[in-house]
Amino acid sequence: MSKDILVTGAAGFIGFHLCKKLIEKGLKVIGIDNINSYYDQELKKNRLKILNNLNDKKNLNWVFIKKDLMDKEAMMNIFKSYEPNIVVNLAAQAGVRYSLENPKAYIDTNIVGFSNILECCRIFRVKNLLYASSSSVYGGNTKVPFSEIDPVNHPVSIYAATKRSNELLAHTYSHLYNIPSIGMRFFTVYGPWGRPDMAPMIFAESILQKKPIKIFNYGKMSRSFTFIDDVVETILKLIQKPAIPDEFFNSTKPNPSTSFCSNRIFNIGNEQPTDLEEFISLLEMGLGTKAIRKYLPMQQGDVQNTMSSNKAIKKWLGDIPNTSIEVGVKSFIKWYKDFYNY
Contact predicate 152/162, CB 8 Å: no
Per-residue pLDDT for 2 more than 50? no
Q: Which long-range contacts (CB under 8 A, 24 or more apart) does 172-178 make?
A: 173/118, 173/121, 173/122, 174/243, 174/259, 174/261, 174/262, 174/263, 175/259, 175/260, 175/261, 175/263, 177/121, 177/122, 178/261, 178/262
Read off the pLDDT of each residue in 179-207 and give the average, rounded to a whole number: 95
3-state SS assignment for residue 279: helix
Contact predicate 41/76, CB 8 Å: no
Q: What is the share, in percent, of the chain residues with pLDDT greater than 90? A: 82
Domain boundaries, the chain: 4-194+226-271+307-322
What pLDDT, on the 0 to 100 scale, is given for residue 1?
46
What pLDDT, on the 0 to 100 scale, is given for residue 3?
55
Catalytic residue among 159, 173, 190, 336: 159
Model-level pTM?
Answer: 0.94
Read off the pLDDT of each residue in 140-168 and give the average, rounded to a whole number: 92
At residue 31, φ and ψ (nearest 5 deg) are -100, 135
Read off the pLDDT of each residue in 219-238 and give the average, rounded to a whole number: 96
Average pLDDT, the chain: 93
Which residues have C-beta within 8 Å of that of residue 268, sequence separation ≥ 6? 184, 185, 186, 187, 226, 230, 231, 234, 235, 308, 313
* Least confident range of 56-60, 163-167, 231-235, 278-282: 56-60
pLDDT tens figures, 111-133: 999 999 999 999 999 999 999 99
Q: How far is residue 7 from each of residues 85, 168, 227, measured CA to CA in Å? A: 11, 21, 20
pLDDT tens figures, 320-338: 999 999 999 999 999 999 9
Q: What is the share, in percent, of the chain residues with pLDDT greater than 70? A: 98
What pLDDT, on the 0 to 100 scale, is given for residue 232?
98
Per the CATH hierarchy, to which homologous superfamily does domain 4-194+226-271+307-322 belong?
NAD(P)-binding Rossmann-like Domain (3.40.50.720)
Per-residue pLDDT for 135 more than 70? yes
pLDDT tens figures, 280-302: 999 999 999 999 999 999 887 67
What pLDDT, on the 0 to 100 scale, is given for residue 189?
97
Cα 161 versus chain centre, distance: 15
159 annotated active-site = yes
Nearest CA-CA partner of 273 in 308, 233, 248: 308
Read off the pLDDT of each residue in 136-161 and give the average, rounded to a whole number: 91
Per-residue pLDDT for 59 more than 70? no
Read off the pLDDT of each residue in 242-258 and give the average, rounded to a whole number: 95
pLDDT tens figures, 14-45: 999 999 999 999 899 999 999 987 788 899 99
Helix, strand, coil percentages in the chain from 3-state DSSP, rounded to 5: 45, 15, 40
